[in-house]
Amino acid sequence: MSTRGLASVDIVMSPATLADLPRMQEIRRAAFEPIFSAFRATLGERIYERAQAREDAAQGELLASLLEVDSPWEVYTADRPGTMAGFISILCNGETRVGEIGLNAVHPDHAGQGIGTAMYDFAVERMKAAGMEVATVSTGGDASHAPARRAYEKAGFNRAIPGVWLCREL
């Protein structure tokens, strides 16, 4: 599916394949590195290493698992002429009729050019086509997730349940 992004460049959304995984991992690492660094700075080295580092390190395995044959997730790449700029995972639950945007990222070199908006619009349309009645997405409430929150809000996600994850050293 082709969609017109804010950058006036066509963005083609295509089902992801295992051959796409290396580039998707590059995008994931580049997009999440500032978030993981912010987590480390916020928590401090000791708490970060004990409470968060393993989860951050496992994100690459999570991405690979989304592409497994038996995965319930649909994964798409967002391609601009000559390059993959982002990816998005979508889960449609036919029983609850709730769709979920899962792990997704836009490479920082392509940030602010409408690619995230195009991906989220695509995901919502895909959910509607699958009969979903509600779309959800989860993101962090910290400053490093502010761009993601703005992008989701721009895509119409306007109901939120704020959360706080608190830590302390023992």
Please state, in angstroms and rounded to a whole number, the distance separating the CA atoms of residues 37 and 21: 23
pLDDT at position 163 is 87
DSSP H helices, the chain, are 21-43, 45-51, 53-57, 59-66, 115-129, 146-154
CB 152 within 8 A of CB 116: no
DSSP H helices, 86-168, are 115-129, 146-154
Q: What secondary structure letter does DSSP report for 18?
A: G
pLDDT at position 141 is 87
Instruction: Calculate the alpha carbon distances from 23 to 79, 107, 109, 116 in Å.
Output: 11, 10, 14, 17
Q: Side chain identity at 75, as an amino acid letter?
A: V
Q: Nearest-5° angle of CA 36, CA 40, CA 158?
A: 50
Give the CATH number of domain 2-154; options: 1.10.3210.10, 3.40.630.30, 3.40.190.10, 3.40.630.40.
3.40.630.30
Give me the average pLDDT of each 10-residue run along the chain (170 residues).
51 97 98 96 96 96 97 97 96 98 97 93 97 96 89 93 90
